C-alpha cells in the first residue's frame, strides 16, 4: 500500500478557500486510475493542485530579490524572441552602417568629372557632396542592417534548436550569413564568404567569452 501525504497539508494558512474548493472539485471529477492509491498518486504528481509554500528560497546574486509579475515575464519573453533580436540588430546595424558611411563619405576627395569636358576635373558643389554623402551613408546602412538581421536571426534559431549557448552558434550563424552574402557574387564567393565570416565570428566570440 502506498502512503501519500494529505494534499490539504500543502496549503498554508493564507491559501484562499476558492483555490482549495477548485482543487477539491478537480479531485472529484478527474480519475486517472481505478485503484485509489494510484489515482491519488497520479493526482499528486500530474494533477492541477496548487501547493502554496511560504519557505521559497530564491538564489540571490546582486541587488534585491524581486518576483516578476506576469507583465514583466511577457515583456521578457518578447525581448528574448528571435524576431525582436533580429529587429534590434537590424536597427543597430543600420545606425552603425550610417555612421561608418558618413565617416567614409567625409574623407572622400571632393573631385568630380566635368560632363562637358571629361578630361577636366572640378570641385564638387555642396549639393553634390550632400547627395553623394546621403547615398554612401544609406548604402553602408543597408549592408550592415542586412548582415545584423540575418546573423542575429540565424544565431537565435540555431541556439533555440540546439538548446545550448556556446561558440558554435556564432560560427554556424557566421557561416550562413557569409554564404548568403557571398552568393550574390557566385558560388566560389559564397564559400569564401561563409568560411571567412565563420572564422571571424569564432574569433570574436572566443575573445568576448575569454577576455
Biggest alpha carbon–alpha carbon distance for the chain = 104
For residues 106 and 155, state if they share a domain. Answer: yes
For residues 122 and 185, state if they share a domain. Answer: yes
191 within a domain of the structure (yes/no): yes
Q: Give me the domain span that covers residue 33.
A: 7-56
41 within a domain of the structure (yes/no): yes
132 within a domain of the structure (yes/no): yes
For residues 87 and 160, state if they share a domain. Answer: yes
65 within a domain of the structure (yes/no): no
For residues 107 and 16, state if they share a domain. Answer: no
For residues 144 and 186, state if they share a domain. Answer: yes
For residues 29 and 104, state if they share a domain. Answer: no
For residues 52 and 93, state if they share a domain. Answer: no
For residues 110 and 192, state if they share a domain. Answer: yes
- In this model, does residue 92 exceed pLDDT 90? yes
**Backbone torsion region of residue 186, taken as left when φ is above 0, otherwise alpha when ψ lies between -120 and 50, otherwise beta:** left
For residues 183 and 99, state if they share a domain. Answer: yes
So what's the pLDDT on residue 11?
Answer: 43
1 within a domain of the structure (yes/no): no
Mean local confidence (pLDDT), 171-200: 91
What pTM value is reported for the model? 0.62
String of DSSP letters for 7-40: GGGGS-TT--HHHHHHHHHHHHH--S-SSHHHHH
118-155 pLDDT tens trace: 556 667 777 877 888 899 999 999 999 999 999 999 99
Candidate ranges 1-5, 42-46, 73-77, 89-93; pick with highest mean pLDDT: 89-93
- In this model, does residue 197 exceed pLDDT 80? yes
Write a three-state SS string for 90-143: HHHHHHHHHHHHHHHHHHCCCEEECCCCCCCEEECCHHHHHHHHHHHHHHHHHH
Helix axis angle, 167-182 to 187-210, nearest 10°: 150
165 within a domain of the structure (yes/no): yes
Contact 50, 19 (CB under 8 A): yes
CA torsion sign for 94, 100, 101, 102 is positive
So what's the pLDDT on residue 209?
Answer: 80
For residues 86 and 51, state if they share a domain. Answer: no
72 within a domain of the structure (yes/no): no
Number of domains in the chain: 2
122 within a domain of the structure (yes/no): yes
For residues 87 and 189, state if they share a domain. Answer: yes
Instruction: State the Cα–Cα distance between residues 189 and 180, nearest whole angstrom.
Output: 10
- 83: DSSP letter: H
Which has the higher per-residue pLDDT, 191 or 24?
191
In whole numbers, what is the pLDDT of the chain averaged over residues? 79
Instruction: State the Cα–Cα distance between residues 94 and 88, nearest whole angstrom.
Output: 10
Mean local confidence (pLDDT), 32-60: 74
Mean local confidence (pLDDT), 28-57: 73
So what's the pLDDT on residue 68?
Answer: 78
String of DSSP letters for 135-175: HHHHHHHHHHHHHHHHHHHHHHHHHHHHT--SHHHHHHHHH
So what's the pLDDT on residue 49?
Answer: 61
| Apex 159 CA angle, 179 and 188, nearest 5 | 10
For residues 93 and 174, state if they share a domain. Answer: yes
Amino acid at each position: 500500500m502506498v502512503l501519500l501525504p494529505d494534499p490539504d497539508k500543502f496549503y498554508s494558512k493564507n491559501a484562499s478557500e476558492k483555490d482549495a474548493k477548485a482543487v477539491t472539485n478537480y479531485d472529484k471529477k478527474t480519475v486517472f486510475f481505478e485503484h485509489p492509491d494510484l489515482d491519488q498518486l497520479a493526482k499528486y504528481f500530474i494533477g492541477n493542485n496548487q501547493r502554496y509554500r511560504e519557505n521559497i528560497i530564491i538564489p540571490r546574486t546582486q541587488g534585491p530579490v524581486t518576483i516578476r509579475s506576469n507583465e514583466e515575464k511577457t515583456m521578457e519573453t518578447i525581448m528574448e524572441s528571435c524576431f525582436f533580436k533580429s529587429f534590434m540588430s537590424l536597427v543597430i546595424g543600420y545606425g552603425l552602417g550610417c555612421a561608418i558611411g558618413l565617416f567614409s563619405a567625409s574623407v572622400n576627395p571632393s573631385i568630380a568629372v566635368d560632363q562637358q569636358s571629361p578630361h577636366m576635373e572640378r570641385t564638387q558643389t555642396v549639393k553634390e557632396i550632400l547627395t553623394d554623402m546621403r547615398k554612401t551613408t544609406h548604402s553602408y546602412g543597408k549592408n550592415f542592417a542586412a548582415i545584423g538581421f540575418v546573423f542575429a536571426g540565424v544565431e537565435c534559431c540555431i541556439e533555440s534548436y540546439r538548446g545550448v549557448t556556446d561558440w558554435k552558434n556564432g560560427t554556424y550563424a557566421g557561416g550562413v550569413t557569409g554564404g548568403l552574402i557571398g552568393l550574390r557574387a557566385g558560388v566560389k564567393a559564397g564559400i569564401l564568404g561563409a568560411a571567412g565570416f565563420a572564422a571571424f565570428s569564432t574569433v570574436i566570440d572566443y575573445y568576448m567569452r575569454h577576455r
